[in-house]
Every structure is written in C-alpha cells, then in structure tokens.
Structure 1
C-alpha cells in the first residue's frame, strides 16, 4: 500500500515548518537514507531522509510552502511492486495557520481575500509519469483558473507579474516560486492588503511593544513602505521574548570590570597556541568565566518552573550569535570543565554552522544561562532579555580606556561594563550580586580560568 511521508518533527518543540526545497521529484526511485527534502524550522534548515524504499508517486506540498504542521502528509511513495500511478494519498490534515493539504487539480480553489491560503497541490488526478508536453504559459484549471501555489500567487501580486504569462514547472504544471524569478512586471504591483493579505482597516494606535507577536495589522498612515513576511525564526524570537518580558520579572545588576590582566593573559596564551591554529577571543574567556561563576554560585544556575525550582549540576552556556534574519544561541556544554582552547574551537565551529542554518536542535536548545556580547560593535552597556526557561543572561559591553582607581591612585585602565539580567522569581538580588562579583573577580584574576 502507499507510504505516506509526513512533515517530521525535527526537534522536541517543533510544531510546524517550511518545506524549503524538494531534493526529489515525482517518479524518482528512493531508498532508505536518501535525502528527500530540506525542512526549515524556526532556527535551522535540516535535511529529511527517506526511511522506506519505493517510487515517489505524489508530491503534495510544493517547496516554499510555510506553516506546514507536523504530521501533514507532504508526499506519497509507492512501495516495491506497486503501481506508482495508482498510489494516492488521503487528504492531509489542514494546518492551523495556512492550509496545507492534497487535492485533485479540479478541486483547488483560488486564493481567498480573507487572509487564508490555498494549499499547494500535486497533480493527484494523474500521478503516472507525465508523457505530455510541459504546461503552456498561463496553465489553467477549470478553464480560467490559474494553477499556482499560494506563495507564487502572493509574490506575483507583490511584483506585478501576470501569472497567465508564466509557464509552470511544478507538479502538474503548477506555477511555483522559482518560475517567477526574472519575470518582468506586467501589471501594477499589489498594495498592502492584496494577494490574500487583509488591508489594515483600523486607525487605532500600534499595539504596545509588550503585546504578543500576533498584535494585528499595522495602521497605514500613508508612509511609503514595504511589508516583509516574518520568517519562522523572527516569529519565534518575538513570541519568546514577549513571553519572557511578560512572565519573568527582570532585575538588572551591573559591574565595571578591569580587563588588562585578561588581555595580557590572552596574548600569552595565543602565542603558545598559534602552532595549533587556535586563537582565543575575549568572548571565549568570558564564556568560561561565566560558567565557573555559575558553578561557584549554584543558586543562579537554575530555572523557575512554577511550583518547582530546577537546579542544574553543570553550566551549559548559550552564546548569542547574530545570523541573517535573527539571532540564535548555540550552546557550549559543561563550559566550566573545558579548556579555553576547546571552548574557542567549539565556538568557532558552532557559530559557522549557525550562520549557515545547519545547527542540530540539541546544539541550540537548552542551556542553563546565556551570554550576549555587543562590545565588538562599540556598545558600552546594555541590558538583555532573559532566554526562557533560563533565569539569567550576561550582557557584555565594550572594553575601553577609562580613568580607573588602581591601588588607590587614579590611572588609565581598560574597563568593560557587564550587566546581568536575572529572573527575580528564581534568583534573589543578593545571589545575583554574588554571581556578578564572582564573575568580576574571575575576569580580573584570569589565572583561575586556566587552573
């Protein structure tokens, strides 16, 4: 019987994803371990492998479709000895935000104007190998209805492209996103509210910054603008940070830290590590300092769970890394027990794969505390939002030459400001202050980081 391929849960918290790219097409033979598709989650793009053997008889969800719920049937494989043309899937369950289901070509309805989207569909009515010529420009269904994915329709409206002039290369001749690349505009581009996106109708003030991510449409005040659809990553960032600010009462504690001894030690260590191709950054050393400080002040290495307090026995440090479209926090596990060179090597490798969207879920989900360093951008001091369910984050400012009292005399020293944000439900002010003092002592006396 036909084998249904369903949208996989690529992480414990994944509820939906974007089918970024198909790596197979209808009629292809696949075996266990073959790569079928690239799935984009809120944080990374991951490859989806085949488990069973057979022939791809139907592709039910077009590439570029987002909001595909976990468990939605995205393709069908005909098993060994089975007629690929006869293998069909039952309609897939509808996604909550955007409908993603299979349908016969003659059952597909056009995009609605109420913000809903038409599910991309394969040519379910004829899944046998296609022996006819490719669909001509302006391929239609039911006579005048254009066969195009919801994403293609929206992009065409935004770019002013007449779909009737486009040749579809998707399943059954359907027009997909790639078909629009290089297409010349032939009609006026749609304004805000077109292509299935409801136009703002309210002149009410913009919702407060503390409101949930789904705050409603932005009023149109006639200012020239362009609306860009939020990525899954940006939606997750908005939701989690709104949740953090609404639920966790933040307390902020700042210390000034002299960096001269740490910078001197870093120079000496880098000279000895040069032959191994390792170059320590200041941030590598601060990651280690935070981890050691958390082990020395375990009352800050916790998470608040309503009626329980989770106390961690090791310090896993989430490190904020800026990537195109958002922010991700790869984790240095058990950072207090690792050498500085090991932390440096791991951090460089994780940051590189983070920017390529290739991190595994376990490499960015979890962590017991976070560190965010904006010093390299010249930011002197800032406060960071706690990354739930963690209970603290350390915000690192720029090291700069400042007047500083050294041995009861005014001198010039390299000083940075570090600000800890603490969830006051889990961490008392005195415990937070002790962590900041311990962190400061470790940075100003850095031999404790290599002992």
Structure 2
C-alpha cells in the first residue's frame, strides 16, 4: 500500500520546520538514501533522505511551507505495482499552504478515501522514541514485533523494511492499563508573566513610524531558550582581569613559525584551549544540569558563540583538551564559516558543558553572558586594552589587560568550585607556554 513520507525530526528538539525545497517531483523513482528535500530547522537547512524505494506518487506539502509539524505527512511514496489510483486522498500536513493548494486539497479530500497510516512511533524501554519508517512500523505491527529491540540499518539508525522482514516476534508481556489521573490532581503551576501581548504593544506605538519584523524560527528559539535560561537557572557571576602580554608575545612567535603552513592563531584559539585544559584541571566543574541529576563529562567539549545574521550558533569543539592550537584554530574557522552559511548539522552545535562568548573584537570591555542550558557555565570575554597595573615587585607598569566574567549555574557549580575553574583559566592564559606541555 502507499507509504506516507513524514516530516522528519532532524534534531532532538525539533517540533516543526520549513519545507524549503523539494529535490524530487511527482512520478520520480527514488531509492533508499536518495535526497528528497531540503528541510529548514530553527538553526540550519538540512537535506532529507529517502528510507524506502519507490515512486513519488503525490507531494502533499508544497515547498516554502513553514511550520510543518514533525511526523505530519508531506508526500506519498508508491511501491512496486502501485499507481496514482491507489493513493486516494491523504490529509495535508498541518503546515499552511498557498490558497490555490488549499482549494485543490479541499476538493480532492471531499471525494476520496484516506490512505491507511502507520502505527504511532514506539518508545524504547527508557522512554525515548524509536525511529522507524512507516512501512517498517506496519510490518512490525502485523508480525507483533517490538521495534525497540531491533537495530536499524537506515540513515541515523532508522529502522527500515529490511530490518523487520526477517525478524520474529518475542512473547509479549501483558500491557499494563493506563489509569487516568483523578480530577482532584493539583493544577499546574502558573506561568510567569511574559509581558504585554502584541496587540497591547502595537497600540502603544500606533502613532509612531515603525517597521514590523516577523520572527523567524531561529529568533523564536533564541527568545524561548534565553527566557527559560534567565527564569530557571540561578546565575551567579565571577570576574577577573587577565594580563595578556605573555600570550600576545608567544602568539606572535608561533604565528611567524606557522606562516609557511598558512595558519594563524587568534587570541580566541588560546582562550578555547585554556578553558578546555581548565575543565580537566577542575573536573567537578566539567558538568551539565540534567533536571534531576548532574552529568559530569570526561572530555572537554567547548562551545563557542558565533554571530550570524538574525541570531547566533554555538558550535562545539569536542575533545578540545587533546587538540593542538593549530587544530583548534582550523576547526573553529571551519565551524564558524559553515555556521554563517547555516550548514551545520545538529550534532555540531548541540552538547558541550561549557561555552565562550567573545565580544572583545567589538570593543566591549566586559559583559555578563546568559548560560545556554544545559551548560554549567559560560565565559564572557572582553577586549584586551592597555592599562596601568602594579606588578609583582610593586612597581607601576603598562600591561594589556582583558576582563572576563564567568556566568555559573549554581545548581551545578558552587562559588568556590567556580572560582577554582576561573583561576585555572586565568593561569593558563597568563602562562601560555604551559598549555603546550
């Protein structure tokens, strides 16, 4: 029977996306692994692959449609021997479509029978979703298979037809009935006020000239996550000044030696390395908040904020403590370039335990950064400027000083532990040669 192609979840947090472009048209033959469409999430535009062989029988959601819900039908795939007459009418995805497309769908839907849909996506024993194609779910349901025990061979571990065709069902235990919650259950906690609504604000500025800017997916996500961060994370802040003269001299020396290799180290590369090593020196601070527990990471996975048009990315440099300065520099340049082109994959900007936000290149002396959950801390880096300082001998001298602020999640890191982490970062930056030992 015809197979519904569903809007994919291209990241663990994705709930809806924009169907930016179809790479196939109705009547095209496709094989597993062929590219079907470009899907735009809140962070990036990603290619969507076919997981079954067949012919594109009908496209349900036109390209350019925004707000297409995950797991809603976007197209219909015909198997061998099937024709367009087997399709019937398939309900359009919940995403808004152009008026002409909506009129056409309404006429078709009134006269035809809907295509049977696959069973709902199953859950593993741990409660996480098991990803399987619609056809695989139907075959599994007919054979009484538990998909949570089957290893998928499709893209990103998705279970496809070949994985379930040869599998046999194991004896299933009797399901436990679900009991509805009593009507006397406590009401959910009231939400914190979110400020005046749009209509109220529009009335306030009705007599002023303004341009209304619609929120894109990225800006909506930034607004939601940072509001959540400031409302739910108990921030506290630690500040230090760092003398950069030794680092700047060492950087100049290294860059002369790296010139023939076409490499050039930035101060930010040293900051990344210093933070990665500090997380190893203070391992209890290399942690994230996981709602009812704390996860202490072994590697130093450091995220770095990259400004792009309309928002920002925080690509993650994994195992940063093990990489050379030149390797970190090359990787950071690549991630930043692809971030600005919105070509990062979700695994490249999700995760990490610690982040760096550097506004020094904009002349900002110091600022307080907002923690990006579930990270335990973020370092806000200001500009290095020449200032009068008192040296160890008590004499007045001029030094290049950089101000930094460590924003810390008090649920994960206490004050003394945060101070140890910041002191380790400062020590690494003021003694840069030791980072190569």
Higher helix share: 2
Q: 1:299 to 1:39 in 2, by over 3 A?
A: same
- Contact 2:286-2:376 within 8 A present in 1 as well: yes
SS, match of residue 396 in structure 1: strand
Q: 1:107 to 1:380 in 2, by over 3 A?
A: same
Residues matched between the structures, number: 354
Partner of 2:239: 254
Q: 1:362 to 1:211 in 2, by over 3 A?
A: farther
Unpaired runs of at least 5, structure 1: 110-120, 126-209
Within the candidate set 317, 321, 325, 2:302 is matched to 317
- TM-score, L = length of structure 1: 0.73
Deviation, structure 1 residue 325: 1.5
Q: 1:124 to 1:317 in 2, by over 3 A?
A: farther
Q: 1: distance between equivalents of 2:361 and 2:226?
A: 23
2:377 pairs with 1:370: no
Q: 2: distance between equivalents of 1:346 and 1:124?
A: 56
Q: Deviations over 1:251-271 (max 9, x none)?
A: 111100011111111111112
- Contact 1:55-1:84 within 8 A present in 2 as well: no
Q: 1: distance between equivalents of 2:316 and 2:291?
A: 25
Q: 1: distance between equivalents of 2:418 and 2:232?
A: 19
- Please give the root-mean-square deviation of Cα atoms over the aligned residues, in Å: 2.7
SS, match of residue 399 in structure 1: strand
2:202 pairs with 1:219: yes
Partner of 1:238: 223
- Contact 2:65-2:97 within 8 A present in 1 as well: no
Unpaired runs of at least 5, structure 2: 113-191
Q: 1:43 to 1:342 in 2, by over 3 A?
A: same
| Equivalent residue runs for 1:13-162 within 5 Å | 13-92=13-92, 94=94, 105=103, 108=106
SS, match of residue 47 in structure 1: strand
Within the candidate set 252, 262, 266, 1:267 is matched to 252
Partner of 2:11: 11
Deviation, structure 1 residue 319: 0.4
Q: Deviations over 1:168-205 (max 9, x none)?
A: xxxxxxxxxxxxxxxxxxxxxxxxxxxxxxxxxxxxxx
Partner of 2:425: 439
Is 430-439 or 39-48 further displaced after alignment? Answer: 430-439
Q: 2: distance between equivalents of 1:335 and 1:36?
A: 35
Within the candidate set 396, 407, 413, 1:427 is matched to 413
Within the candidate set 370, 375, 382, 2:367 is matched to 382
| Equivalent residue runs for 1:126-205 within 5 Å | none
SS, match of residue 76 in structure 1: strand
Q: 1:124 to 1:47 in 2, by over 3 A?
A: farther
